[in-house]
Chain A
Amino acid sequence: QVQLVQSGGEVKKPGASVKVSCKASGYTFSSYSITWVRQAPGQGLEWMGRISAYDGNTNYAQKFQGRVTMTTDSSTSTAYMELRSLRFDDTAVYYCARVSGYSGYDFAYWGQGALVTVAS
């Protein structure tokens, strides 16, 4: 069965960077892209970007351009999302997700989320 297991929560200071991991299992890693979505406390879902696990091609939301980098490691079937120059309003749960096998445009599989807290 498809599983996405994310790294644990982190506390960071403003201006620092955070790197969240997402380890995939139960399918051929290179066959599907990984998408990153975040959710600030009490707020809605926000699409951050996606990375092709096949060729590393990335697409980022305009809001995060220049501040986010998504990568993959095919040897460990793991995707990473690094966010730099953290601000207080980057405090959120960060999810990785994978599209379904029947559509390719919906997010059928989700990680458990990783809480990133930005605090001084």
Chain B
Amino acid sequence: QSALTQPASVSGSPGQSITISCTGTSSDVGSYNLVSWYQQHPGKAPQVMIYEGSKRPSGISNRFSGSKSVNTASLTISGLQAEDEATYYCCSYAGTNTWVFGGGTKVTVL
């Protein structure tokens, strides 16, 4: 149950697009299309932005999109806005009612 691998930080200018990768193994990301992505602002609880790899919950901007290729999931934020500055975590179902999180990626809007 090793943590999924995410880059520590990603930055972009307002209006640009950025992509955050999340690399797991054939036992988690690669086995299930059940990766979710969470946005967390300092001192706040996480909020789900993407579930089941690419689906957006009601109320989440369509600027957020998710995808997966083999053992790596990705979150893309298009039209970057100041309010997107936060830490983002991926999370994958890993079978037998267990989950694993990524280490988190701090997004900075320049």
Residues of A within 8 A of B (CB): 33, 35, 37, 44-47, 50, 57, 59, 61-63, 95, 100, 102-103, 105-108, 110-113
Contacts and interface: CB of A to CB of B under 8 A. Distances in A.
A95 B45 contact: yes
A107 B36 contact: yes
Interface band, chain B: 20 to 34
29 contacts: A35-B99, A37-B101, A45-B91, A46-B3, A46-B101, A47-B91, A47-B98, A47-B99, A47-B100, A47-B101, A59-B97, A95-B45, A95-B46, A100-B51, A102-B51, A103-B34, A103-B36, A103-B51, A105-B32, A105-B36, A105-B51, A105-B52, A105-B93, A106-B36, A106-B52, A106-B57, A106-B91, A108-B48, A111-B45
Interface of B: 1, 3, 32, 34, 36, 38, 40, 45-48, 51-52, 55, 57, 89, 91, 93, 96-104
